[in-house]
Amino acid sequence: MPARSVQCLENATPAQLAEVELLGETGLHWETLDVDFTILGLMKGIFGTAKFMEAQRRGGQSRSAAKIEASRANGAKGGRPRKIS
């Protein structure tokens, strides 16, 4: 899971992320960050509050000049690569 997609972990340093502890069999705990998550919750995509998740969703839909240019360059190469199964 990308830490930048998880509320309360998005600004954590690699050293802080490495300090994760297992709580029981299904919990994750970061003492220095005072953050707890269940593995099931992370697998379901529950990475934060509804407001945080909406901001994450909108971020991927941004239309910056750099994103538009990259899309055009990719299209000139034949478009998005096919998924290999």
Quick one: average pLDDT of 17-25?
A: 93
User: How confident is residue 60, by pLDDT bands cut at 50, 70 and 90?
Assistant: low
Torsional sign, CA 67, 70, 75, 80: negative
Question: Does the pLDDT at position 53 exceed 80?
Answer: no
Contact (CB, 8 A) for 42 and 30: no
Cα 84 to Cα 11, 60, 81, distances in angstroms: 33, 23, 9
Considering the domain 3-76 in this protein, what is its CATH number? 3.30.2020.40
Q: Quick one: pLDDT at residue 15?
A: 95
More confident position, 31 or 58: 31
Q: Quick one: pLDDT at residue 14?
A: 94
